[in-house]
Amino acid sequence: MKLNLVSARTGATWVNLGIKTFFKQPLALAGLFFMFMALMSVATMVPLVGLPLAMTLLPAITLGLMVATREATQGRFPMPLILLSGFRAGPVKLRTMLTLGGIYATGFLCAIGASYLMDGGGFAQMYLGGKAPSAELMGTGAFQTAMWTFIGLHLPLSLLFWHAPALVYWQDLPALKAMFFSIVACGRNFWALTVFALLWMGIMVGAVLAVTAASAVFNAPTLANAMLFPALLMVAAMFFTSLYFTYRDCFEAPGDAPRQAA
């Protein structure tokens, strides 16, 4: 396994490749993303253990989307079962994926729990989708403290798991070593990931503005309500499509040609 160092502009390349690859197989990749969302939603509905279960499944299911992207880059049509690639790679990798999922679920619950202690659960209910906060609530100091507490704890957790499932699947690393190399790679390629994140934020804002402008041009206030959510889901699907390229260029997935390094 070789860790590549890439330039900041590679972040823009990842975004571009994610969008182009999505439109090579739009039905397949959009369908897989909606299946991913549905699976997470169903998992959270399980009484008592729904949220921990969904967070435990999240790393492996996210890997499934990365494997689907790799299939699309090679001209193949990704089938629905590809979402379960992390669970179908043999007993050793299955145990490692579940270990990763358990660690991620524990970290996520600690982060959301810490935010709960800050404001009594206002931010947590908003983030988990159970309650729409009022403007007054969002403007309170307690809510702001809870939000930044969660962000401060969840960001390093996300970096630990950014590449970890892919490293388990393609590089046969154990869970803790995969997490270590994931956060090292994110740190060493900080500027590329920063460009990547900022561009996706800009695309999401642009999608909102485009839908809003179209609603105003056609004098159809209901158009924004009807189109905004699907537009954001489409952007999210393209974002998840681009995740594979951040791994590929940082680590060289087996079977891929070497990519550019800074």
* pLDDT for position 244: 96
Q: Which residues constitute the domain of residue 135?
A: 10-251
- Mean pLDDT taken over the chain: 90
In a domain, 180, yes or no: yes
User: In the numeric block, which tokens belong to residue 139?
Assistant: 């403007």
Q: Say what the pLDDT of residue 140 is.
A: 82
On whether residue 4 sits in a domain, the answer given is: no
Q: Has residue 145 been placed in a domain? A: yes
Residue ranges for the chain with pLDDT beneath 70:
130-137, 253-262
Q: Does residue 256 form part of some domain? A: no
User: Can you give the pTM of this predicted structure?
Assistant: 0.89
Residue 230 has a pLDDT of 87
CA dist., res. 28 & res. 34, Å (int): 10
What tens digit of pLDDT does each residue of 14-71 get?
Answer: 999 999 999 999 999 999 999 999 999 999 989 889 999 999 999 999 999 999 999 9
> Residue 3 domain-assigned?
no
Q: What is the pLDDT of residue 188?
A: 95
* Residue 171 per-residue DSSP state: H
Q: Which helix (H) or strand (E) holds 114?
A: helix 91-119
- Tell me the CA distances in angstroms from 176 to 30, 93, 202, one per residue in order: 32, 13, 33
Structural domain total, the chain: 1
